[in-house]
A and B are shown apart, each in its own frame.
Chain A
Amino acid sequence: MNVLIYLVPMALGLGLLGLFAFLWALKSGQYSDVDGAALRVLSDDDLEK
């Protein structure tokens, strides 16, 4: 069972990665307009004509 010595910290590290990704998304305002984001993805304005 010695494998747990590095497997558990690794699992924790991956979890932390997810947590920080969420906190970063929150901080950069990605949750401030949830409805708008769903609609903006449908617009083609940013494409080169």
Chain B
Amino acid sequence: MTETLDLSLYAKPAGDGTLDMELAVDGIACGACIARVEGAVKRLPGVTEARLNYTNRRLRVAWTNGAVEPADILRALEESGYHGHPFVPMRAEQEEAAEARKLTRCMAVAGFAAMNIMLLSVSVWSGNVTDITPETRDFFHWASALIALPAAAYAGRPFFESAWRALKARSLNMDVPISLGIILALGMSLVETANHAEHAYFDSAIMLLFFLLVGRTLDHAMRRKTRAVAGNLAALKAETAHRFAGGELVSVPVAALKAGDRLLIKPGERVPADGTVLSGNSEIDESLITGETARRKVASGSTIYAGSMNYSGALTLNVTAPGGAALIDEIEKLLDKAASAKSRVMRLADRASRVYAPVVHATAGLTFVGWLLAGASLHDAIVTAIAVLIITCPCALALAIPAVQVVASGALFRANVILNAGDAIERFAEADTVVFDKTGTLTLPAPRVVNADSIDAELLQIAARLALSSRHPLAVALSREAVTRAPYEGAVEEPGQGVRTVIDGAEARLGSRAFCGAIDQGADSLLPKASASAGTNGEGDAGASHIYFSLRGRGIQIEISQLIRPDAVGVVKALRERGLDLHILSGDRPEAVESVARALGIEQWEAGVKPADKIARIEEWKGQGRRVLMVGDGLNDAPALAAAHVSLSPISAADVTQAHADAVFLGERLQPVLDAVELSRRARILMTENLWLAAIYNAIAVPIAIAGAVTPLIAALAMSGSSLLVTLNALRAGGRKP
């Protein structure tokens, strides 16, 4: 049965009778791919434009409405060896793109202004010690003012707006002293210029603005890069569902499902939405939701949740809660509570600015009063007080933390950790307790063959190749072993039993024990007895499942089980060496958890833990003053991830879970967990160092300013010097290994 694929959800009308679609493209490896991908799509009739963005691996296609179906575009890509995944750009991503363009424009304007003003200022500085005429100096100052004022009004908006928002909310952030410093410096320079003074501070104000904008733009660019990768991964993961439309089946993206839709769920597929079973019998694996690896039997009338894996039989489902909205009530409630508790954590930068702003403003005020009392004129007292504000303008302080964040998030990105939250680095560094979920976190998300060494390699290869013809999850796991990726022709799947085919005149069977033994009675005795004990609940390796294969009277038993991530033992050891307290909290059965805990040497483990209990445990640790790093992937972990001080989840996790984790890690290895902790700890040290550098700079510069000895040259040197120092120090956060 050929099933039509309905992707109309993703096609957006562009106005002039054409439709527009964005695809995340998988499999792009080199520059030649650009021409191949675009060529394949452009050959289709009606396609007016196809442009691949190589940086974020996205293809934009436009076509005349009705000339070609979106599914044809995917097929054309598929035929040339690439996978395309339709993509709806997230609102947040579009907003960030607009914000990034705004920041870049501001930075360009500030950069242009800074360079030109510096040219004029350097002339004035050198002229002041040689033979510049007052007329020329005034001309240069007025020219600087002409550049600086409009440039600051345009490029300073990100700071002014943020400072204004903070003031309106009756709070202080770092942008308040920055904005104040810039405005005062410009205002005073204007007055001084009008009075034909020797000094003006246009250069300091604009240079400051430029440095800060460079920092912010880089910070933003890094965050956008990780966001784009995360967006593509989400598109790659997006699955389709088979919906009954009239008498036919239509493939639709999961995002297009509505309550009341009737779906067919074939064996080996994930359940795309919450719903009730209308007909069919099957076993489902809910490990992604509850952490439980034993399967649950479902039949007509059962309620099943999105994310479960359908094992043995086809089910017809009536959708009750479509797509990502699907959440168990209990988990949803827990999530809300946990997430609100978390927003109270205060960021290092905010703490610093809360101390900093009052101190600086008080110092400036005291300077003003002090000079007045000492008998200085009102003009001189004001000028000196403003000089204090300018020189303490927290350029270094404002760069101290973002600069480290940019470099550290770049290093984390290379270590396969994608940050969701900007301040997660600080919190990773503070963690002293690591809590792991078991299924899918410590173990690999997909089961594997575990007894490959003890069975006949030739038979295993034939079995694995035969397994390619089945979508049963155990067969899918077995098929990963196949070297030859071509399925046997004429393989027949007997639903709920197994697959069979004829190889060189002999029948080969793969499936349940009864199915394989049924060829002739003699072969049954040749099949190895289920090792350790019978059935799927073997004691040898808790949670292991068995699948059987027979050919020419020879039989093998293949054991398939959740494997621990390949480097988990080493990572766990390394984490412990770094002084972290390790725990396992799992929703799975005690036997299954114990074997993993023992293999990894984690002594503190709890099994059968419900989502509410996970939160309770985390709250208990919090009460003891611990900072918990939660690593988990299941829907049952989502509230715990939100409640923990900081959280990490593998990319295979449920969508809701990922959304609540502070960072997501890629790949099969557990190493990113260690890297996240390592790199963040180093970044945290550098942040503190930078704050101290900024403080030392102020300790030296402020007395000079209070004494009234600051000239624009000293101001420019001191401010740029401290910014550079802080930035260079931040670069140390990027080294590969500490």
Q: Taking beta carbons and an 8 Å cutoff, which residues of A are in contact with B?
A: 1, 4-5, 8, 11-12, 15-16, 18-19, 22-23, 26, 31-36, 39-40, 42-43, 45
Contact = CB atoms under 8 A, between A and B. Distances in A.
B31 A26 contact: no
Contacts of A39: 30-31, 34, 54
A33 B55 CA distance: 5
B53 A36 contact: yes
A37 to B, nearest CB: 8
Given A4-B136, A15-B116, A36-B52, A26 B101 contact: yes
B108 A12 contact: no
Contact of A12 (B39, B55, B56, B143): B143
Contacts of A1: 133, 136
11 contacts: A4-B136, A11-B119, A12-B143, A18-B112, A19-B112, A23-B105, A33-B56, A35-B54, A35-B55, A39-B30, A43-B34
B139 A4 contact: yes
A4 B55 CA distance: 46
Contacts of A18: 112
B547 interface: no
B115 A15 contact: yes
Contacts, number: 57
A30 to B, nearest CB: 12
Interface string B12-38: 000000000000000000111011000
Nearest to A36: B54
Nearest to B151: A19
Interface in B78-123: 101, 104-105, 108-109, 112, 115-116, 119-120
Contact of A19 (B55, B109, B143): B109
SS class of chain A's interface: helix, strand, loop or mixed? helix
B147 interface: yes
Size range of the chain B interface in the assembly: 20 to 34
Given A4-B139, A36-B53, 15 more contacts: A8-B139, A8-B143, A11-B119, A19-B109, A23-B108, A26-B104, A33-B53, A33-B55, A33-B56, A35-B54, A36-B34, A36-B54, A43-B34, A45-B35, A45-B39
A5 B133 CA distance: 14
A16 B55 CA distance: 30
Contacts of A8: 120, 139-140, 143
Contact of A43 (B35, B112, B139): B35
B295 to A, nearest CB: 45
Given A1-B133, A4-B136, A33-B55, A12 B147 contact: yes
A22 B380 CA distance: 42
A38 to B, nearest CB: 8
A8 B141 CA distance: 12
Contacts of B140: 8
Given A8-B143, A35-B55, A36-B55, A43 B108 contact: no
A19 B147 CA distance: 13
Contacts of A45: 35, 39
A26 B111 CA distance: 15
Contacts of A23: 105, 108
A17 to B, nearest CB: 10
A30 B330 CA distance: 49
Contacts of A40: 31, 34
B34 A26 contact: no
Q: Choose among B30, B52, B108 the residue with the greatest number of A CB atoms under 10 Å from its CB.
A: B108
A3 B119 CA distance: 16
Nearest 5 interchain pairs by C-beta: A36-B54, A39-B31, A19-B112, A33-B53, A35-B55
Contacts of A33: 53-56
B376 to A, nearest CB: 35
A45 to B, nearest CB: 5
Contacts of A42: 31
Given A4-B139, A32-B53, A33-B53, A16 B112 contact: yes
Interface string B45-72: 0000000111110000000000000000
B112 A11 contact: no
A6 to B, nearest CB: 12
Given A12-B147, A36-B55, A19 B139 contact: no
A31 B136 CA distance: 40
Interface in B397-439: none
A24 to B, nearest CB: 11
A22 B115 CA distance: 15
Contacts of A16: 112
A45 B105 CA distance: 34
Nearest to B52: A36
Contacts of B30: 39
A47 B147 CA distance: 46
B55 A32 contact: yes
Nearest to A44: B35
Contacts of B143: 8, 12
B50 to A, nearest CB: 13
Contacts of A34: 55
A9 B31 CA distance: 45
B104 A43 contact: no
B575 to A, nearest CB: 35
Contacts of B108: 19, 22-23, 26
A11 B118 CA distance: 13
A42 B31 CA distance: 8
B177 to A, nearest CB: 28
A23 B292 CA distance: 56
Contacts of B136: 1, 4
A5 B35 CA distance: 53
Contacts of B109: 19
A26 B53 contact: no
Contacts of B120: 8
A36 B147 CA distance: 36
A36 B109 CA distance: 26
Nearest to B143: A8
A31 B224 CA distance: 14
Contact of B31 (A5, A15, A43): A43
A37 B533 CA distance: 62
A42 B52 CA distance: 15
Nearest to B116: A15
Contacts of B56: 33
Contacts of B34: 36, 39-40, 43
B351 to A, nearest CB: 35
Contacts of A15: 112, 115-116
A19 to B, nearest CB: 4
